[in-house]
Amino acid sequence: MKSFSLLLRRILQTSISNIVRAPFVSFSVVLVMTVTLFIVGFSFLLGNMAQDVVDTLQTKVDTTVYFVKKTPETQILELKKKLEGLSVVKEVEYISQNQALADFQKRHSDDLDSIRGLEILPDNPFSARFSIKAKDTKDYEEIAQFLNNEDITSANKTTIIDKIDYYQNKEVINRLTSAISTTSIFAKLVVALLILISCIIVFNIIRLIIYLSRDEISVMNLIGAENFYIEAPFVVSGGIYGAVSSIAALIFLYPISVWLAPVVGRFFGNESFSAYYISNFLVIMVVLIVLGVCIGAVSSWASTRRYLKS
């Protein structure tokens, strides 16, 4: 009786001999798949890089809340606690009056005029402040509204907040939020579209290959072969085409990333395209190989089934 290992070995042998015995066809399939997977890998890489730049940009946006001088620190820390409890807040950094002064002195240590000017003043001219980072740039409005709530910010009917710079930067933040969101959606759409087009191209080239074997499939059926025994070698061959093409695409991606590094660098700041490729190689490799193998195998399976009789 047919054991599983024997079945597996025969399927693998048939798959490999199908590939080797039709070298021109195999080369054509691998070539088309390599080009499409290269495009997928390239757009995936660019899309991820754009997303990373957008994420970095988002972390650079914050809003500052300045407190009225001489506000008791306990009240400020109580507000900090409340702010940190908000789901939209990522981080609240408290800079005390003394810390603000020390920071200024450190920053202007070479500027003697500024330091002397500070010494003339009777007391510390800096206010205590919060530097608040939201989880998303669109959440700053909600944080500002929260801070404007009198019940939260007032003690003894005195306002402890002097200024919220969100209102000065509102227009810029809103434009940035809109740009980030548009860029992100656009990048994802482009990547998805390219993946879809690649899948269609690969599906059709494999369908063509299976079409050439349709007579053999019908003969195998007439001899009494089970559908699984007929389609499995085609599915494995499809998977092998996908794996080989993914590896080829990964190899070609490196020199191209080096070549395009200056152009891409102009769009994404100082980030090196090739360095980004190397540092994310593992993720891209897994994505391309899984995608290549899946497209190859699924396309072969679907195409073979067309010619199998139930």
Which residue, 10 or 207, is less far from another protein as judged by CB?
Answer: 10
CA distances from 79 to 31, 118, 129, 152 (A): 62, 29, 11, 8
Is there a contact between 280 and 45 (Cβ–Cβ < 8 Å)? yes
Residue closer to another protein (CB basis): 66 or 229: 229
- Min dist CB 55 to another protein, Å, is 51
Comparing CB distances to another protein, the nearer of 68 and 219 is 219
Nearest distance from C-beta of residue 221 to another protein, angstroms: 8
Q: For residue 83, give the DSSP letter.
A: H
Minimum Å gap between C-beta 2 and another protein is 3
Q: Which residues bind another protein (CB under 8 A)?
A: 1-2, 6, 10, 17-18, 21-22, 213, 215-216, 219-220, 222-226, 229, 309-310
The nearer residue to another protein, 190 or 308, going by C-beta atoms, is 308
Which is it for the CA torsion 11, 17, 22, 28, positive or negative?
positive
- The CA-to-CA distance between both ends of the chain, in Å, stands at 24
Match 């933040």 to its residue by tokens.
173
Distance CA 197, CA 173 (A): 36
Residue appearing with tokens 């789901």: 87
Instruction: Select 112 or 222, whichever has its Cβ closest to another protein.
Output: 222
Cα separation, 44 vs 130, whole angstroms: 38
DSSP code string of 202-234: HHHHHHHHHHHTHHHHHHHHHHT--HHHHHHHH
Nearer to another protein, 18 or 198 (CB): 18
Minimum distance from residue 303 beta carbon to another protein (Å)? 16
Q: Which is nearer to another protein, 122 or 224 (CB)?
A: 224
CA 207, 212, 218, 223 dihedral sign is negative
Helical pair 112-120 and 97-107, crossing angle rounded to 10 deg: 150
Strand partners, 154: 159
Minimum distance of another protein from residue 17's CB (angstroms): 8
Q: Report the nearest approach of another protein to the CB of residue 243 (Å).
A: 21
Least distance between another protein and beta carbon 264 (Å)? 45
